Each structure stands twice: as structure tokens, then as C-alpha cells.
Structure 1
Amino acid sequence: MSVNKDECMTKLKINKWDVQHHVVPEFYVSELKKIGITDAAGVPFPKWTYKKSLKVMNAWNINKSILSLSLPGVHFGDDKKACLLASKTNDWILDLMQSHPERFGGFASLPLPDVDGSLIEYQRSIVERGMNGVILMSNVGGIYPGNASYRPLFEKFDRDRTIVFIHPNTSPETKDCGLLNPFYFWFLDTTKALLSLLNSGFHRDYPNIRYIFAHGGGALARFSQELEEADPILASELREWRQQIFFDTAKFVNNEALSSLLDFTDDTHIMFSSDFPWASASKMRYWTSRLNENFMNNVTLERIYFKNAKNLFSKEDGLEPLNKIDLVEKRKPVHMHAMPVTLKDEIESLAIDISKVNWFDFEQLENKFLKEDYPLRITLDLPELWDKEQSLIDKFISQYNREIGILSEKHKNIFQAFGAIDLASSGCISQIESCILNSNIEGLCLFPPDDYDIKNLKPQVINLLSSLVIPVMIHPRDSRGTIIFNENKLAVPKFMAQIMYSGEIDKLTNLSFILTHTSGIHRDLIDSMGMLFYLRKDGWKMVRFIFDYFFRRKLKGEAILNDAIWD
């Protein structure tokens, strides 16, 4: 749909409120250097002054920015020092609010997990001095906002109808993962923070708190669809809670991400943000252009750019109910699980409950084949297998691949058999070679552990995969339930992020990927995950990025994720 020049200019001139605009005071950087922290998970602290913020705001018609301290926050193991750093940071923001009252608001940092210290700082900076709300890290040392010890603080938030901004932070499990954090893990940690509040019942117990979740809430919109099946009661409570949940747009502006977010909420609960200076000023042009493309209606854009934020920060009465959101039709699966019956005795010998196994049923498959317009791809799914000794796993995989190949030959043209490959096994090379030699195996299914480190992927495995002309499926070891309750299912998007960041993707660009049980989170995070194709562990591939962006007009990392078949 074309947009004329006058419409474009009108959109560019729409005023904005920025709900995620960060400060990086020199004293903060200096304090962190004293304890050995020189960056945020591999991302250098940006050089920043408030004058730079004003310059960006003026250039992009940002009337007001709500200032906050970004990750890694203020608490690094010492409660007393955390309280002092929080107070100093909040005072610094308050000074800017007082000197530029029309341009700056502010979220207060709290020294969590020190609840007593946080209550004192909350009283001082919010109640007594008038900051606009609080910023909480998605986790502090692995402690998430829904922790029971935080209840006294949330009781105070609830009484005061506080606005709570949730910002991602590095978790202890991912602290050594470099740029995988800002371009993948941080998004998911924001979602985990929200889920911790939901699972702890904070959404019911503290109904007056208004939340803003950074970066579109990460993968929440996708996860919420899964929750409808896994736990209808909790899903219903989440739908009710939507009224108090708002989302910002930083790093969350591609069409599919916004569409899935709007399947969960509506445009009255989405707010513009810049993430400046952690995101450079040059990003503003890209993000605003994408928002302008996705929201053609100026009334909607005005809501997102400034009205929603202005209303939230100025209203004293209750929130208006959300529009009813229709549930999205469930996406058809792109693969199936069917276990050869000939393996029944072997499975029983592994002390695995055979009543939970989905057995191969030809009549059922044939009926499905006649109804569906896509190939029936069959692969292994036996979660209990992966807890066994490696020798037993290797033996079973060999048997499975042989038996599924026999069934494929017997029932030609009805389904495609995918051979199982255990990436954690020292025998995975022989597993791949065996499948390649078996003409009845029409694809490979890789099973990475949920804690898989791509550096353990042997060069011989990469070389074998690079020579394939058959599709490659990535499958979690445990696909049961929803991702909300089973983080093992995140092994698939994590694997894709890892092969991009490591550079191994260069040898695998010819592959046809099938990504299973992802709920589509790689689609919502495609802007960031796709950039890992250029932001490599061994260095930034700037020339390649410039060529793809300005001349090919197609970013390779995004294209790989876009082209992948998924469910």
C-alpha cells in the first residue's frame, strides 16, 4: 500500500512520549568499574549526556522521555552499596526532572532483592519526591519479580497504583553468552518476569499495579496462545490481567511481531520507546518507519506515539477495559510423532511408560494424508529417553532410525521419515552417516539439549550437514506442554541463534530448516535474532551487513528465519 508524501510528513511530525529512555551517568559507569563490571553482557556502556538525549528528542519530536537506569541495575551482592547507588541514581534523574519538567520524567531504581531497602527508597523517591514509577530488572541474580519475598513491596505498589516498568536483565545462566543476551535471551527474560508474576498470583493479589513490559513483552504474545490449551484457567486470568499490562515498541517493530502482540492486546496498550542510548539514534529512523508502515491510521499512531503513555501517567481513575480479542486459530503442525510398534519391547526395557507413547498407526496416517495439503513428516518424540545412559540412547536411536526407515519403504508417498540425531552424542557423526546412506530417510531431525553449547558441535558434523540435500528439522528433546511450563522447548530457537552468532550458519545456508514446537517466537524476534548473522562472536561483519541492507535489500539472517518452516 503506497503512502503519499504528505501522509509521510504528517506521520513524522506526530509528537511522541518515550517510555524507555535510559541514563548512563559517568558516576554509575565508574562505580561499576570498581567492582570489575565494564560492560553489560558484552555490550559497552554508551557515552551519554542529557544533552544528547535532548538532541535526539528534538530531532524526532519526542516531547517527553521517562528516564531510567538500564541493566545491569544497582545490586551486585552488597545491599548497602546497592541502596546508595539506587539513591544516587534516582537523585540524579530527579535533578533532570526538576530542571526540565516538560521534557523528562523518571522511573526509580530499587535495590532489590533487598526488600527493606527498596521500601525505604520507594518512599523517598516516589512518595516524597514524585518520580513517575519504578523500573525493575526482569531478574536480579536469578530472582524474578514474582518471588514471594517481594510481596511487601508489591503491596505498597498496589496501594499507590504504581506504574512498574519491567526491563530485561542477564540471568546467571546466560552471563557468559555474549551478544546472544541482547539479541535473544533478554527478550525471553522479560517474558519470564511476567510469567513469574502470573504464576505467583501477583496479578490477582495486586490488581491496581500498572505494568509496562519492555520490547513488546518478548515472546509473551506467542506463549499466550499455547497457554489456552495447556491451562485454560490461567489463560483466562492472563486475558483478564491484560487490562493492566502495557508494552513498549523498542526492538519490536516488525510486522509479524506487532501482529502477534495485537492478537493479545490492542493498540491502546502499546507505547513508543527508543531504548536510547543503548540503541543508537540512527535506529530511530528504522523503528519509526516500521511503525508508520504497520499502523497506517494516524489515530492509531497518535495513540502509540504519545496518547497511551500520556493517559497512563496522568490518569488517577481506573483503566478502561480492553477490546475483546479473538483467539487466533491454532497453526497446523508441520511434523508428527509416531513410534514404530516394533520398538515396544525396547521402550519397556528402558523403563519408559509405553501408555504415553504415540504409536505408528497407518490407517490414521493415511486418513490424515488424504485430508492435508502438506507432507506428513514423522520424527522421534520420547522425552524420557534423554535421561538414560548415553549408550542406551545411542542404541535406541539406531533402532528407531532403522525401523522408521522400514515403515517409510513399506508406505511410500504417505509420509517422510526423519532420522533422529543426538547432537550431544559422540556418535552423532555415525548417526548422520547412517541416515544419509538410508534411502528411506528423507530428512534429519537434530535434538540439541536445552543447555546445548554450539562450540561442542564438531566440524565433521557441520561438514556433513553442509552437504545435505534433504531438509533438517530441529526438535526439542521434551516437547510436552507449553513453553511457559517447559523451557526445554526453547532449545530450537536458541540453537538457531547460536549457529548464527558462532558463524557456523555460513556453511549451512543451503539447508532447508524445519523448526518445531517454537510457537513462532523466532518470527517475533526476527529483527534481533537475524542481526546475529552479522554480529558474530569473532567480530562484526559490517561490510556484509552494508551490502545486504543497502544493495540486496534483504538481510540474510532474517531471510533464513523467514524461510524456515515452523510450528
Structure 2
Amino acid sequence: MRIIALEEHVLPKEISAELGAVAPTWPQKASDLLDELDGKRLESMDSAGIDVQVLSIVGHPIQELEPHRSVALSRKANDRVAAAVAAHPDRFAAFATLPMSDPPAAAAELRRAVADLGFVGAMIHGQTNGLFLDDLAFVPLLAEAQELGVPIYLHPAEPPPVVRRAYFSGLKPVAAEYLSRGSWGWHAELGLHVLRLAVGGTFERFPALQIIVGHMGEHLPFNLARADEKLSPVTGLPRSVAETVRDQVHITTSGYTTNPPLLCALLVFGADRILFSVDYPFSDNAEATAFLNSAPISPADREKIGHANCERLLKL
């Protein structure tokens, strides 16, 4: 079975160096693997049985820079990733990094990345300087994505300082950091971000727009029925919240390798809306593919999740 993984991160050291003090920090092994765009990355893919990775820059600091720096560094990052895809076109595709602090420039860079570089969409990291995608400033960007027919992968990011103080102060620093990020905080905020797009009418304004979220749906599968019950009567929109989310959101398995979250996601979203991802190098390729191959699902659903849904959505 062909396997495509589509939340697979990179951060070339020449890009990280330009971020200076706001560059994200990772353990040395992860930092080295983020910089690796052939050798060890391809070896790990081969060993795990992954045919294609969709590459994405770990880019939240880039999208929040002052506009002129964000525009220049986004362009440089996309050109660097495009070179990696060109070197291995049968193994890599890519999501664009966008200068979100300058929304019109973000729309222009998305068009360049798709039309000129052959990218298959964009990855946006959560809110940008306190603004979510339902803000009217981002209308040109969402219109561009809809016109191009490419999805936006909405990935978690660091919480704003005011949120960090309100929710995560008073804890040991290391506990606060992990609680605010990949253990809980990231996923709660990202699920909220998607619901804002539904409740605020953004999805109605752009009915062909497709959003991808990772981490087995960012809490949405478990909570969607309750959100629908409480929110749909008060939105004044033609579709219910649940209908809207299921129409316009795909979810990936990134970082999750246990059956209960997968089965919940299948019951709520259906197999046609779930895509395989690893979250490399923060999660293990071999563990993720072993989970996909052994999950208690039908062969047809395994094919959909492993590659067919991604081929359809990204036109691979």
C-alpha cells in the first residue's frame, strides 16, 4: 500500500539562523533532523514504508515577524523547500510558509508557491499576533486559497503571552511549557480556531475552502456533537456547526498511534476525511506506519487514510 504522510516538518538551519532570538529551540536530535532534507530523512521513510512526505516549515515565528522580514523569509523558506522537492519529486511535496503579518503579501506568496513552485497548499501556525483566520484581514488569503483549490493546514502554535499568563502561570516552568503545547493547550486552541471559522461565518463565505488539522482532529471529534448542540441554534447560519466542520475540515493522524482516538474520529468524521501523518521528526515514522497497518479498520478505509484521501485532496 502506498503511504503519504502530510504533517512532516523541516527547518533548514539557514532559515532558523535568520530568526535569531525568536527561533524555536528543540533537542539537538530533532534540530538536526529538521535540517535534513534528503539522506537520513529518506532512509527513515524507506525503513518505515513511507512513499511521500509533504514537507512544511516549522514556521510560527516566521509568520509573526514584522511584515518586511516575514515576507522575505517566507519566500526564502519556500524556495529552499522547493529545491528539496525538485531534488526528489517522487518523494516530497510541500506546503507553503506564508507571511501572515502582511495578509495581502500572504495571499501573493500562496499564489507564487502554488503556481510557480508547485506547492500543494499552505501551513499556517495558529493565530498570528492575536488574530485568528476568521479576522477580516485574512479574507484575501482565504479567497486565494479557494480560487487556487488548495487546502490550508492549520497547525498549533505558541499561545499569546496573555493566554500563557492566564492559563499556565503558577506551575513549574517545564510543566507549564508542556501543558501549554503538545500535551493539551495547542490542541484546545486549534479546535477553538476551527470552531471560530464555523461559528463566525468564514466557512459560509468560502464554501469551497478546505482546512486540514492534525493530531487526530485537535479535540474536535470528541467534542463536536456538544459544540453542535450548543452553537448551531445561535449562529443564524444555514448549515449546522457539525455539518460545516465535516464539509470543510479534514483531519490527520499526526502524533497519535492508539486506537480509541482513531475510532472516535472515524465515527464522527468518516474515513473519507482522515489522512495519515506522522509529525516527523517529533514522532517516529516506523511507529506511525505500524499503527496504520495494524489499526482495527477495513482494508478500504486503510487505503483511504494511507494515501487515497490525500491524493484526492492535494491532487497528488
Fold conserved between structures, TM > 0.5? yes
What is the TM-score of this pair, normalised by structure 1? 0.49
Residue 295 in structure 1 maps to residue 281 in structure 2: no
Matching residue of 1:326: none
Structure-to-structure mapping, 1:334-413, within 5 angstroms? none
Counterpart of 2:253, as a letter, is: T
Change (3 A) 1:285 1:54: closer
Q: 1:158 aligned to 140, 143, 146, which one?
A: 146
Counterpart of 1:134, as a letter, is: A
Matching residue of 1:64: 52
Residue 263 in structure 1 maps to residue 267 in structure 2: yes
Is the 1:24–1:47 Cα contact (8 Å) retained in structure 2?
Answer: no
Superposition deviation, residue 252 in structure 1: 2.6
Matching residue of 1:147: 135
Whole-Å separation in 1 of the counterparts to 2:240 and 2:53:
34
Residue 81 in structure 1 maps to residue 81 in structure 2: no
Structure 1's unaligned 5+ residue stretches are 1-13, 316-567
Higher deviation after alignment, 286-295 or 22-31? 286-295
Matching residue of 1:19: 6
SS of 2:4's partner is strand
Whole-Å separation in 1 of the counterparts to 2:28 and 2:164:
14
Counterpart of 1:179, as a letter, is: Y
Q: 1:248 aligned to 249, 252, 256, which one?
A: 252
Is the 1:140–1:169 Cα contact (8 Å) retained in structure 2?
Answer: no
Superposition deviation, residue 65 in structure 1: 1.0
Counterpart of 1:30, as a letter, is: A
Q: 2:98 aligned to 103, 110, 118, which one?
A: 110
Superposition deviation, residue 167 in structure 1: 0.8
Superposition deviation, residue 287 in structure 1: 2.8
Counterpart of 1:221, as a letter, is: P
Whole-Å separation in 1 of the counterparts to 2:22 and 2:228:
45
Superposition deviation, residue 146 in structure 1: 1.4
Superposition deviation, residue 119 in structure 1: 2.1
Matching residue of 2:170: none
Matching residue of 1:445: none
What is the TM-score of this pair, normalised by structure 2? 0.86
Counterpart of 1:137, as a letter, is: H
SS of 1:75's partner is helix
Counterpart of 1:214, as a letter, is: G
Is the 2:292–2:306 Cα contact (8 Å) retained in structure 1?
Answer: no
Is the 2:49–2:289 Cα contact (8 Å) retained in structure 1?
Answer: no
Whole-Å separation in 2 of the counterparts to 1:63 and 1:211:
23
Whole-Å separation in 2 of the counterparts to 1:183 and 1:308:
27
Q: CA offsets, 1:258-314, max 9 Å, x none?
A: 2221222111111111111132xxx33333333334334222212111111112122
Is the 1:19–1:272 Cα contact (8 Å) retained in structure 2?
Answer: yes
Matching residue of 1:285: 286
Whole-Å separation in 1 of the counterparts to 2:242 and 2:137:
22
Residue 314 in structure 1 maps to residue 300 in structure 2: no
Matching residue of 2:185: 185
Change (3 A) 1:38 1:213: closer
Superposition deviation, residue 116 in structure 1: 2.0
Q: 2:118 aligned to 121, 130, 142, which one?
A: 130
Residue 174 in structure 1 maps to residue 159 in structure 2: no
Change (3 A) 1:47 1:90: same
Q: CA offsets, 1:301-331, max 9 Å, x none?
A: 121111111121228xxxxxxxxxxxxxxxx
Matching residue of 2:219: 219
Matching residue of 1:46: 31
Whole-Å separation in 1 of the counterparts to 2:13 and 2:23:
14
Aligned length: 297
Whole-Å separation in 2 of the counterparts to 1:246 and 1:98:
27
Is the 1:133–1:163 Cα contact (8 Å) retained in structure 2?
Answer: yes
Change (3 A) 1:27 1:123: same
Counterpart of 1:26, as a letter, is: K
Structure-to-structure mapping, 1:352-501, within 5 angstroms? none
Change (3 A) 1:135 1:126: same
Superposition deviation, residue 113 in structure 1: 2.7
Q: CA offsets, 1:111-163, max 9 Å, x none?
A: 10311221221222222332111111111222211112111111111222221
Superposition deviation, residue 71 in structure 1: 4.4
| Structure number, greater radius of gyration | 1
Whole-Å separation in 2 of the counterparts to 1:148 and 1:272:
32
Counterpart of 1:272, as a letter, is: F
Matching residue of 1:499: none
Is the 1:134–1:165 Cα contact (8 Å) retained in structure 2?
Answer: yes
Whole-Å separation in 2 of the counterparts to 1:212 and 1:39:
25
SS of 2:140's partner is helix
Is the 1:38–1:45 Cα contact (8 Å) retained in structure 2?
Answer: no
Is the 1:138–1:192 Cα contact (8 Å) retained in structure 2?
Answer: no
Whole-Å separation in 2 of the counterparts to 1:251 and 1:45:
15
SS of 1:62's partner is coil
Change (3 A) 1:185 1:43: farther
Q: Percent identity?
A: 22
Is the 1:163–1:209 Cα contact (8 Å) retained in structure 2?
Answer: yes
Whole-Å separation in 2 of the counterparts to 1:131 and 1:72:
19
Q: Select the structure that is richer in helix.
A: 2
SS of 1:66's partner is strand
Whole-Å separation in 2 of the counterparts to 1:37 and 1:67:
19
Residue 201 in structure 1 maps to residue 201 in structure 2: yes
Superposition deviation, residue 229 in structure 1: 2.5
Whole-Å separation in 1 of the counterparts to 2:28 and 2:199:
32
Change (3 A) 1:240 1:152: same
Superposition deviation, residue 45 in structure 1: 5.5
Counterpart of 2:311, as a letter, is: K
Q: 1:37 aligned to 23, 48, 67, which one?
A: 23
Change (3 A) 1:86 1:137: same
Superposition deviation, residue 73 in structure 1: 4.2
Is the 1:38–1:44 Cα contact (8 Å) retained in structure 2?
Answer: no
